[in-house]
Amino acid sequence: MRPDLAARAVDLRELMDEPDADLRMLEHTYRRFRVVNAVVSRPGALYRRDIRPRARAGRVRILDVGAGGGDLCRALAAFLRRDGLTADITALDPDERAMGWAAANDGGAGVHYRCAATDELVTAGETFDVVLSNHLLHHLTADQLSAVLDDTRQLASSTGFVAHHDIARSRGAYALFAAGTLPFARNLLAGSFIRVDGLLSIRRSYTAAELRAQVPQGWTVRSGFPARLQLRWEGARARP
């Protein structure tokens, strides 16, 4: 039976979000995110388009909100190191399990892992040149989304920008992920939440039109291939 994708399935909850989620499966999920997100999220494109031009002008401060296992941060650190560029990279997540695993598996990337929420950084007056998230928005309620957008806008410096990346809900996205992960369900992805939670994520995700209707003025929604959304805010002097 095909799932109803006409509207967001906001009542669904991903297995890895459960407080009693199996720790071994959770850690295996974090471990496999590096491979999955390299294909789905394409951090190299983000780096070339938005990070590298700023890093060439000087050391940049990067914040990844809802960083999970920290794979995006470590990928960006590797790209910067390869190009001889420098940055202060902070992975932020309120889940102690995620930050504990990420810190223990930093692998020399030099990422700073913080178990905290965005409002704590706002209260502390911290700012960053680049504020990012990957696959965070679909986890949030309407009130949480509003709060995160307000917080991340405040956390961006006057020359900085915010870019939240997520999945775009569609039948094509659901079918592509289901088919693409099926051959790996009993090997690469076995013992992880990735296949089940990935399909739940798509059902919880926004379409571009839904996201545009939800966000305040000043934010721009962009669609990308395949089935990607970027929600972006830039300060008046944000261009590198």
Nearest to 109 by CA among 81, 132, 133: 81
pLDDT tens digits along 75-106? 999 999 999 999 999 999 999 999 999 999 99
Alpha-helix residue ranges (DSSP H) falling in the chain: 23-40, 43-46, 52-55, 71-82, 96-104, 118-123, 142-155, 171-181, 194-204, 208-214
Catalogue all structural domains in the chain, each as residue range(s) with its CATH number. Answer: 15-234 (3.40.50.150)
What pTM was estimated for this model as a whole? 0.95
Token pair of 69, please? Answer: 């296992």
Query: Quick check: helix, strand or coil at residue 166?
Result: strand
In angstroms, rounded to a whole number, what is the distance separating the alpha carbons of residues 66 and 164? 10
List of residues 6+ apart from 152 with CB closer than 8 A: 65, 118, 131, 133, 162, 164, 233
235 falls in which pLDDT band (50, 70, 90)?
A: confident
Q: Is the pLDDT of residue 36 over 80?
A: yes
Residues 134-153: tens digit of each pLDDT: 999 999 999 999 999 999 99
In the structure encoding, which two tokens stand for residue 183, read together?
């051959």
Tens digits of per-residue pLDDT, 41-54? Answer: 999 999 999 999 99
Q: What residue type is assigned to position 72 of the chain?
A: L
> 160: Cβ–Cβ under 8 A, 6 or more apart, which residues?
127, 128, 129, 130, 131, 235, 238
